[in-house]
Chains A and B, each alone.
Chain A
């Protein structure tokens, strides 16, 4: 009773940590019982806890005894499964070494216990109160759409994509896609997708046929991806490579930067396509034909990704911007 009274009198501080590829974003929100008093994003050029980040967080941590630190889980071994039944879970993941939570008693998201301990260990100096799954975050973000749509739902983070397919709030398939991992084993993935080409044809997915063409082009190099949106015009790659030679050296650098962004979007597109392939082909999952895709954009993807998805996979694409820090903060608030 006294604690509740004091809780009402004190401000609540929510510190939300999102680790990106090369930096860490710390979103801080100071709330009174009724309103948000202060909110700010702070970027640190590190992916681990350093002294600057510690000092920054500790300064806010000392502000109120009701300070909650949330971390977005980045474990590559996480995912979501279309059941809450523990007996069935083992069909989809190694449940013994995983921690899981059920979402609305329909489906569950899980992560590696080892990675949870690693997060706790990483932030042991300040402690962690909540570790959230990006799947839960995505489900909350698209709650209005998930309940009454059959569609793909994506949460795009800096290096990861939380890929899921929902049919009227029932999870059909989910996968946590790692772009770094994809880079390393890009060629291997492409080869495997090439091998599966005939099966994709039998499923009748036109977009996948186009992807196979792209992958063949990828073997040339990712620098050529800037013109991928022109593939529908069936221009030859040779012409494109000639055009590239014409550019001046000063413009090349800019091209590389834009090519990186493009490259990332293509990588994302490639990953999405692969994941959708698995969904269609794996007999474990109840596959249905997907026409819509909802994307929660946490990094600011370019229009290229939308174009690929629309033009090559013939999907209706809906993109919503998401501030991961704010979304994480909202989840932390809901937990209290």
Chain B
């Protein structure tokens, strides 16, 4: 029914006192929730940072492992390089010694250097020159030495000298 000539004033429970009280509580609650939210955010950020740090740590660990592996590889390579260098030095010295071994009267036409042996092709004026001047030092170096001769056109002899170092002895020597 609407039989009143005028409309009633708007009624609300939110009087000025209640409004003040609600404002106070609202501000307090807002501050509390803001603090709580800030703390939650900080906690979240902290957890995130911890996760990041852990990730970085694991990455660094992986990096360290990788670098350790690389260092090991490089060390191995270095050792290998040293070994190769030494081997090459030895080979160079051996070749130098070989050429030093060959007297001026004997002419080498070919030399095959192998792991455990040496094959020399050349021309000698005679067998004695070869036997005394080349075979003797070769015998002192190699364990087994085989020589074969065949005459050349000008009366000189072509020779093939096959020399071997026995591996067992070499291993025994190395040990």
Known: A10-B13, A65-B13. A103 touches B8 (CB 8 A): no
Give, as a whole number of angstroms, the nearest-CB distance from B74 to chain A. 77
Structural contact, B8 and A130, CB atoms closer than 8 A: yes
Among residues of B, the one whose C-beta sits closest to the C-beta of A129 is B8
Q: Are B5 and A3 in contact (CB under 8 A)?
A: no
CA distance A66 to B8 in the complex (A): 11
B153 within 8 Å of A (CB atoms): no
> CB distance B1 to A6 under 8 Å?
no
Do the beta carbons of A3 and B12 come within 8 Å of each other? Answer: yes
In the complex, what residues of A have CB within 8 A of residue B2's CB? 101, 335
Taking CB atoms, residues of chain A closer than 8 Å to B8 are 68, 129-130, 335-336
> Within B1-44, which residues are at the interface with A (CB < 8 Å)?
1-6, 8-9, 11-13, 15
Are the CB atoms of B13 and A99 closer together than 8 Å? no
User: Given A116-B6, A120-B6, A129-B6 in contact, is the A66-B11 Cβ separation under 8 Å?
Assistant: yes
On chain B, the residues within 8 Å of A6 by CB distance are 13
Closest to A332 in B: B4
Docked-complex contact B9 and A127, CB < 8 angstroms: yes
Chain A nearest CB from B41 CB (Å) reads 31
A194→B4 CA distance, assembly (Å): 39
Establish whether residues A116 and B3, one from each chain, have CB atoms under 8 Å apart when the complex forms.
no
CB-contacts of A110-149 with B (<8 A): 111, 116, 120, 127-133, 136, 140
Question: Which residue of B5, B9, B12, B13 contacts A116 across the interface (Cβ within 8 Å)?
Answer: B5
Chain B residues with CB under 8 A of A120: 6
A205 CB within 8 Å of chain B: no
Question: Which residues of the other chain, B, contact A127 by a CB distance below 8 angstroms?
Answer: 9
- Please report the C-alpha to C-alpha distance between residue A127 and residue B6 in the assembled complex, in whole angstroms: 11
Main secondary structure of the interface of A (DSSP, over half): mixed
Give min CB distance, A50 to chain B, whole Å: 22
B residues near A116, Cβ cutoff 8 Å: 5-6
* Contact, CB under 8 Å: A131 / B15: no
What is the bound-complex CA distance between A70 and B9, given in angstroms? 11
Q: Which residues of the partner chain B approach A111 to less than 8 Å between Cβ atoms?
A: 5
| Residue A299, interface by CB 8 Å | no
B3 in contact with A133 (CB, 8 Å): yes
Chain B neighbourhood of A3, CB < 8 A: 12-13
Residues of A within 8 A of B11 (CB): 7, 65-68
Chain A residues in the interface with B (C-beta under 8 A): 3, 6-7, 10, 65-68, 70, 73, 99, 101, 103, 109, 111, 116, 120, 127-133, 136, 140, 331-332, 334-336
Interfacial residues, chain B to chain A (CB-CB below 8 A): 1-6, 8-9, 11-13, 15
Selected A-B contacts with CB under 8 Å, 23 pairs: A3-B13, A6-B13, A7-B13, A10-B13, A65-B11, A65-B13, A66-B11, A68-B8, A70-B4, A101-B3, A101-B4, A111-B5, A116-B6, A120-B6, A131-B5, A131-B6, A132-B3, A132-B4, A140-B3, A331-B1, A331-B3, A335-B1, A335-B2
Which 5 residue pairs are nearest across A and B when measured between Cβ atoms? A129-B8, A130-B4, A6-B13, A136-B3, A131-B5
